[in-house]
Structure 1
Amino acid sequence: MQQRVLKVLEFGKVKEQLIKHAASSLGKQKVENLIPSTNYEEVVYMQEQTDEATKVLRLKGNVPLGGITDIRPSVKRAIIGSMLSSIELLDIASTIYGGRQIKKFIEGMVEDDIDIPILKSYVDQILPLYEVEQSIKHCIDDNGVVMDGASDKLRTIRQQLRSSESRIREKLENIIRSSSAQKTLSDAIITIRNDRYVIPVKQEYRGTYGGIVHDQSSSGATVFIEPQSVVDLNNTLQEARVKEKQEIERILFELTGEVAEVGEDLLQNVEVLADLDFMFTKAAYSQKTKASKPIMNNNGYVRIFKARHPLISPSEVVPNDIELGKEFTSIVITGPNTGGKTVTLKTLGLFTLMAQSGLQIPALDGSEMAVFENVYADIGDEQSIEQSLSTFSSHMVNIVEILNKVDSNSLVLFDELGAGTDPQEGAALAISILDEVYNRGARVIATTHYPELKAYGYNREGVINASVEFDIETLSPTYKLLIGVPGRSNAFEISKRLGLKDDVISRAKEHVSTESNTVENMIASLEESKKEAEAELTEAEEIRKDAEQLHKELQQQIIEFNDKRDKLYEKAQQKAVDTVDKAKLEAEEVIRELRKMRTDQNALVKEHELIDAKKRLEGATPTLVKKKQEVQKRKENQDFRSGDEVKVISFNQKGHLLDRIGKKEWQVQIGIMKMKVNEGDLEYISRPKPVETKPLATIKGKDYHVSLELDLRGERFENALVRVEKYIDDALLAGYPQVSIIHGKGTGVLRSGVQEYLKNHRSVKSTRLGEVGEGGSGVTVVAFK
């Protein structure tokens, strides 16, 4: 990839956003060195890496990558024999620990049957190196200080140091507290000069204490003297400090040696951790931009759904669908300035660079991207003062370079092709250049102002027109890309909206050729047809989704019903087996008693005893009764009525009749599902008895039916509670043990209000949210006392 193309398409700005998500300098370095790959297999593998990391973040929220640093320089120095500082060793221990944590984290996810084979293959390469980490942490604290316990010798030396310091301070404190100290000392303090303890003495009393002068104040009025009485103690202290330094160096050398022994393993760990940090950096960026994994191909086909340029604010960006490389390999975009033509070019170019770098793209799932060998772009004002080139000349220099290199595995982006010169010549050049790139087999998108190029897409196979939509009412672009519709001139409409007189506009129209007017009218018709088609497609898609959801819910209900039925059969079968086993045991007991009676009574068993034993044996035999619900068949002259309990034969499910739809069709309520069923598929079971409550009969009538559910969706809060109160009373009068109240999910205000009311109702036994097949949290199921 040309560096110039990376700059023009602002790939560097994407890397600036990406680097903010790196957890360590290792990941940041990877981002800084990131360039798009042109190898198809490598690109597919990088996308798989990012996708697995995205899956982990989606499931776990974050990953333990803290404490990892770039320790490679320190490790290499250790290998060649240099002594590492305590801070360097501490960083090495921290990185070893960080590697072990991420290894444990990923392996835990694998044990939970989460499919992340690439990440597992990486953490398998991480070596724990627990002994080295513990050796370092046993000797060095979190602040990088070598601890007393690092060795017995260091502990002894540190004890001597503390003892010497204590004795020195004690002697000096006696001096500064003496009666003469106020006269001879500038200040009653103990301080340090040249690593030796001293006291501040007035210049005129410098001979009072003897000893060594180490420093004096800037005015010369005070000298810092080490009294003769502590010189020997200070000497002892200095000797101990030298021994401490030597022992610390010995310990650090020893630890450095341990690091050197596992140096190659450490370097391998760091490389793996760098790759892992980079993967999760890309994944975090995908989450931030709401990106998705593109399907990669190697045949130059691009199809992006609702593409959003990652460098434009989410509140301002307009998603667009872009397709190229199958039915057509060239797109010519026309339309007004600032309408979004250049953004479309940059979006496709930047998405290509991102996808080939292993980054997910800000678009909907199912988008496809191609791996191109080269991406060429001629975008922006290329005027060069240094080279004395005009805008047109500088564009042509760039285009000539592109034409010298372009091939069938290239993506070419031309912005305002042929601009900056005579319109007629510029249009002719633009057509010729597009023909040349098309004949080379490259994928190309070009933007232009030239009306001649509007017909270009109609005259050549594999080329299509496109435009950016312009709203005449608001006099502003909508930034929406319309593939298949060429851009039209809006000069007359805009002028009229801005107040230009009609007669002036009419005279202007007379100067426009009949062919141009025909083309403009055709374009306007295409735009209107496309809008209508998109609206109808959106409506059809919503209907399709609703039907799919309904189908899924019905399937789920049938599955749940079959599961429950099977479980009941198994339970009944087991109960029967248990009953038979119990009967056999009792039968054996009866037989034993008969034999005992025969033996005890010398085979003389009286008749009444045999009869009694036989009765017991017969009583022990299990009677398996297969319960059948008495189904009252519908008489030929008996009609179905709303509220009847029926069985839908084809689904083997019970339900209630709601309303007659046609002559032979009914709407049947099965659980939370409502469906149309032919009378021939219905089997009558029972009819609810009318409630013998006079007020109800008076008010509702004898045929009044209360539905098993109340639908409150779309109701205002106050009206909803009034309906709930009335419905609960009606359901209680109807004798229902359980009903459902549909309030929807929404903000949860209506659900909370309904449940609060039900909780305080004296006749309500319990409430619960619906299960998966009942509507989930959008339904409250009410059981009565």
Structure 2
Amino acid sequence: MIQTETLTLLEWPRLCQHLSTFAATKLGVAAAQSLALPVQRQETEQLLCQTKEVYELENRLNITLQFDGIQDIRDALARADLQGILAGVDLLEVATTLAGARQLRRTIDDQEDGEVPTLLMLVEELRTYPDLEKEIYRCIDDRGRVTDRANPKLLGIREKQRTTRDQIYSKLQKMLSRNSNAVQEAVITQRDGRYVIPIKATHKDLVPGIVHDTSTTGATLYVEPQSTVGANNQMRQLLRQEQAEEEAIRRQLTEQIAAVGLDLLRLVDICTVLDFATARARYGYWLGANPPRFVDWSGANSRPVDESAPSLPTEKIVLRQLRHPLLVWQQLQEAGQAVVPIDLTIQPQIRVVAITGPNTGGKTVTLKTLGLAVLMAKVGMFVPAREPVELPWFEQVLTDIGDEQSLEQSLSTFSGHIRRIGRILEALEQTSNSLVLLDEVGAGTDPSEGSALAIALLQELADKAVLSIATTHFGELKALKYQDARFENASVEFDDVSLSPTYKLLWGIPGRSNALAIARRLGLKPDVIEQAQKYVGGKREDLNQVIAGLETQRREQAEKSAEADRLIKQAEFLYEQVSRKADKLRDQERHLKAQQEEAVQAEIGQAKSEIAKVIRTLQRGKVSGQDAQQATAKVDQLAGKYLPSQQKKAKPKPGFRPQVGDRVRIPRLGQKGEVLSIAADGDTLAVRFGLMKMTVGMDEIESLQGEKVQKPERSMPKTPVPPPAPTPLIKTSQNTIDIRGSRVMDAEVTLDQAIATGDRAIWIIHGHGTGKLRHGVHEFLKQHGRVTRFEAAAKEDGGSGVTIAHLC
């Protein structure tokens, strides 16, 4: 019972309704709306694997699972099993389901081994019976009617029907023409399956026959002329024969379906599992969620043999930038307010967290967000938080949130809370592996007694439950952290200037009382405030000042931490950039050395070959001095060709004088940079490469062509030459990247590589779509160190679907 109450209090049915909108079939919708919580962790792991693999298929491999034609045929299978005869529409739904399942299996079977092992194992049991599908399509048309080709006998009956119908129409048309004055309207219609014509009641004797119906006013009689009675009788017999033959065909198809009914039921179950997994994956993508990892909380799955607490877990809970999924839905679907994410990082030794803070500050939303995150992970869904998402697998989530006041049961708010907490403690007797969420614990009664009860209850939960989160206004609960290492404090931040909460969760800091501060800001009489301050006492005010100081320190540390993270990322980027360029230069050097060695070896071989020819010429006959002289000259000529003298070495290039704006090379760093300024003495200059600036000596640089700096005469200073006008940007295939269809996370890696190797600008094709990818690209470009600015491309280059990033 308490588990059902928990799901209602956390608005779990509403989340399931949202999830069902991402299902493709009625089967998937029903599975999402009646979602049952797994009782074993292995079941959760299986569901999570299914979700991950579908997510991989649809977002990394761009393969969409199609569920066209798949219907809920379970009722039809049950009727077939009871030897009933299925209607044509039911038979058609069986055929379309078989076709849809076959296409679904083909899509999954086409994937490479190891990409989707869970899905492949699932569809191995899928039997689609193509022969049965083909037979149904042969016998039943798109409207669920039995076709002429189903049976030769049926075809003959229908041909006789058409002939008989033509005879009846011919006779009736002639009769309408001959008795035009007696006819109310020149039409042929049917009554009770027999063809009749409308005759004026005043002229009924002109057309003898059987009257089958009368108009509302009685002015028109629907008469079957005597001349067509025999043909109509024959038509009725043919219709009965047709119905009997159609029924025989449908019975035969039904029997074939009943023979494989168990396999078809299994097929429906597998299609439901696949559709439900696809709905979870698509919902996770829509939320911008990430897959959870279940951390190992040792001792969480078993009760201790003595009265001491269970052994503590070894890994912490990490949920950064966690968002409430229902609030995300309101923001995106119903134009609600932006969702403020929360950070939850709970150390392994913590068993109870007490959250304090002002009303409407987000304490209750925090409880519900954590509860929904745990439930979403438990059913194999992604959690709307930043990676990594790490949390335990809880057997139970138990909550006491909201007011359970009941006039019918004579329950006050306090009584309602106590009864629900009693049910929670009873449930904890079954398993300690539970998450307990308590809102305003101990509220609704005398503050002193309520505070004492809250302290005793939280100490009991510290012994009985793996993790408990409680919100409270009682200041006494803030001190539990300093008495028991299993307790932790948290608070929702409050802005003293605007007198409103920021909805941000602060860890390790208890919330301070804001009542007197708010009253003072709102203009309550100062003497009343001072009198209230006397009742509160100076120690309370001192405590508030200490807490305020802690909050200020925390904000400063958070800002410094964010700045440090930014600098670290920049340094890592520069290091990676320099490392890549150094590796590239080393590869080029190795390649050039290899080429040079090959060239030298080839020349040596050629020289040896030509010298051998000279020697063989000398060996042919008697050698004279002139021959020896000629041979020596030939060898000297070869030496001059393959072993050039020092005079043939390239002369050093003439020097140059760098100017502001020139690009130069720093050989000892293997970097190219831009000259920012030159010292007055002309011996040093400031150079920028990437995000770094440094001062180097003139003898440490050279031009891009390898020219060393030629120092000018002191007596002849040079006027700085302005930098050359930049060449216009031209879009090419080398400076253009296409990231359409990519996730923001994957696109960032591609962008980082493109920016690192880019020269002046790159064209980024992201398309229009929902705008999420474009927003993610712009946020990434804002933070990148090499990007000086970015803008939308010209209309002929793609307009707002393309972004140009200018690089430094």
TM-score category of the 2 structures, normalised to the smaller one: 0.7 to 0.9
Counterpart amino acid of residue 171 in structure 2: K
In the other structure, the counterpart of 1:716 is none
Question: Aligned-pair RMSD on alpha carbons?
Answer: 4.4
Alpha-carbon distance between aligned partners in 1 of 2:167 and 2:575, rounded to the nearest angstrom: 90
In the other structure, the counterpart of 1:484 is 508
Aligned match for 1:318, one of 318, 331, 340: 340
SS in 1 for 2:239: helix
In the other structure, the counterpart of 1:12 is 13
Aligned match for 1:457, one of 467, 476, 481: 481
Q: How does 1:629-648 map to 2 (within 5 A)?
A: 630=650, 632=652, 643=662, 645-646=664-665, 648=667
* CA-to-aligned-CA distance 1:556-576 (integer Å, 9 cap, x gap): 444555566667778889999
Aligned match for 1:423, one of 447, 455, 459: 447
User: Does residue 381 in structure 1 map to residue 403 in structure 2?
Assistant: yes
Alpha-carbon distance between aligned partners in 1 of 2:593 and 2:69, rounded to the nearest angstrom: 59
Distance 1:520 1:358, change over 3 A: same
In the other structure, the counterpart of 1:217 is 215
Output the TM-score relative to the length of structure 1: 0.78
User: Does residue 347 in structure 1 map to residue 369 in structure 2?
Assistant: yes
* CA-to-aligned-CA distance 1:422-479 (integer Å, 9 cap, x gap): 1111111111111111123531111111122222222221211111111122121111
SS in 1 for 2:388: coil
Cα displacement (A) at 1:106: 2.1
Alpha-carbon distance between aligned partners in 2 of 1:251 and 1:574, rounded to the nearest angstrom: 82
SS in 1 for 2:180: helix
Alpha-carbon distance between aligned partners in 2 of 1:241 and 1:624, rounded to the nearest angstrom: 108
User: Does residue 236 in structure 1 map to residue 256 in structure 2?
Assistant: no
Cα displacement (A) at 1:484: 1.0
Aligned match for 1:307, one of 319, 322, 328: 322
In the other structure, the counterpart of 2:253 is 255
Counterpart amino acid of residue 707 in structure 2: R
In the other structure, the counterpart of 1:2 is 3
* CA-to-aligned-CA distance 1:203-262 (integer Å, 9 cap, x gap): 343333333222222333332221122222222222222222222122222222332343
Output the TM-score relative to the length of structure 2: 0.76
In the other structure, the counterpart of 2:38 is 37
Cα displacement (A) at 1:537: 1.5
User: Does residue 291 in structure 1 map to residue 289 in structure 2?
Assistant: yes
User: Does residue 192 in structure 1 map to residue 194 in structure 2?
Assistant: no
Alpha-carbon distance between aligned partners in 1 of 2:718 and 2:181, rounded to the nearest angstrom: 113
* CA-to-aligned-CA distance 1:21-54 (integer Å, 9 cap, x gap): 1211211222233222242222222222212222
In the other structure, the counterpart of 1:64 is 66
Alpha-carbon distance between aligned partners in 2 of 1:343 and 1:702, rounded to the nearest angstrom: 64
* CA-to-aligned-CA distance 1:597-616 (integer Å, 9 cap, x gap): x9xxxxxxxxx9xx9xxx9x
Cα displacement (A) at 1:678: 7.0
* CA-to-aligned-CA distance 1:505-562 (integer Å, 9 cap, x gap): 3343333323212211111101111111111122222222222333333344445555
Counterpart amino acid of residue 366 in structure 1: P
Distance 1:401 1:253, change over 3 A: closer
SS in 2 for 1:511: helix
Alpha-carbon distance between aligned partners in 2 of 1:4 and 1:625, rounded to the nearest angstrom: 94
Return 115-124 or 681-690, whichever deviates more.
Answer: 681-690
Distance 1:667 1:400, change over 3 A: same
In the other structure, the counterpart of 2:538 is 514
User: Does residue 117 in structure 1 map to residue 117 in structure 2?
Assistant: yes
Do the aligned partners of 1:634 and 1:683 also contact (CA within 8 Å) in 2? no
Do the aligned partners of 2:761 and 2:804 also contact (CA within 8 Å) in 1? no
* CA-to-aligned-CA distance 1:585-608 (integer Å, 9 cap, x gap): x99xx9xxx9xxx9xxxxxxxxx9
Cα displacement (A) at 1:326: 1.2
Do the aligned partners of 2:157 and 2:241 also contact (CA within 8 Å) in 1? yes
Distance 1:202 1:405, change over 3 A: closer
Alpha-carbon distance between aligned partners in 1 of 2:69 and 2:588, rounded to the nearest angstrom: 53
Alpha-carbon distance between aligned partners in 1 of 2:89 and 2:343, rounded to the nearest angstrom: 54
Alpha-carbon distance between aligned partners in 2 of 1:192 and 1:184, rounded to the nearest angstrom: 19
Distance 1:290 1:780, change over 3 A: closer
* CA-to-aligned-CA distance 1:379-407 (integer Å, 9 cap, x gap): 11122223222222222222233234425
SS in 2 for 1:538: helix
Alpha-carbon distance between aligned partners in 2 of 1:408 and 1:330, rounded to the nearest angstrom: 13
Alpha-carbon distance between aligned partners in 2 of 1:480 and 1:631, rounded to the nearest angstrom: 69
Alpha-carbon distance between aligned partners in 2 of 1:625 and 1:84, rounded to the nearest angstrom: 97
Cα displacement (A) at 1:354: 1.6
User: Does residue 202 in structure 1 map to residue 200 in structure 2?
Assistant: yes
Identity %: 35
Do the aligned partners of 2:213 and 2:221 also contact (CA within 8 Å) in 1? yes
Cα displacement (A) at 1:361: 1.4
In the other structure, the counterpart of 1:132 is 132
User: Does residue 330 in structure 1 map to residue 332 in structure 2?
Assistant: no
Aligned match for 2:414, one of 347, 367, 392: 392
Distance 1:569 1:99, change over 3 A: farther
Do the aligned partners of 2:209 and 2:226 also contact (CA within 8 Å) in 1? yes
Distance 1:80 1:471, change over 3 A: same
Do the aligned partners of 1:30 and 1:274 also contact (CA within 8 Å) in 2? yes
Cα displacement (A) at 1:99: 0.7
SS in 1 for 2:386: coil
Do the aligned partners of 1:38 and 1:356 also contact (CA within 8 Å) in 2? no
Distance 1:237 1:433, change over 3 A: same
Distance 1:573 1:62, change over 3 A: farther
Alpha-carbon distance between aligned partners in 1 of 2:403 and 2:277, rounded to the nearest angstrom: 36
Distance 1:537 1:754, change over 3 A: farther
SS in 2 for 1:367: strand
Alpha-carbon distance between aligned partners in 1 of 2:156 and 2:353, rounded to the nearest angstrom: 82
Alpha-carbon distance between aligned partners in 1 of 2:669 and 2:425, rounded to the nearest angstrom: 68
Cα displacement (A) at 1:491: 2.1
Do the aligned partners of 2:702 and 2:709 also contact (CA within 8 Å) in 1? no
Counterpart amino acid of residue 493 in structure 1: A
Distance 1:649 1:173, change over 3 A: same
Cα displacement (A) at 1:325: 5.0
Cα displacement (A) at 1:56: 2.3
SS in 2 for 1:311: helix
Aligned match for 1:440, one of 430, 451, 464: 464
SS in 2 for 1:182: coil
Cα displacement (A) at 1:91: 0.3
Cα displacement (A) at 1:494: 1.2
Distance 1:580 1:183, change over 3 A: farther
* CA-to-aligned-CA distance 1:628-680 (integer Å, 9 cap, x gap): 99584999xx99887585462565x777766679999976677x786759779
In the other structure, the counterpart of 1:500 is 524
Distance 1:102 1:572, change over 3 A: farther
Q: How many residues align?
A: 698
Do the aligned partners of 2:658 and 2:709 also contact (CA within 8 Å) in 1? no
Q: How does 1:42-191 map to 2 (within 5 A)?
A: 42-59=43-60, 60=62, 62-108=64-110, 110-111=111-112, 115-178=115-178, 181-191=179-189
Cα displacement (A) at 1:486: 0.8
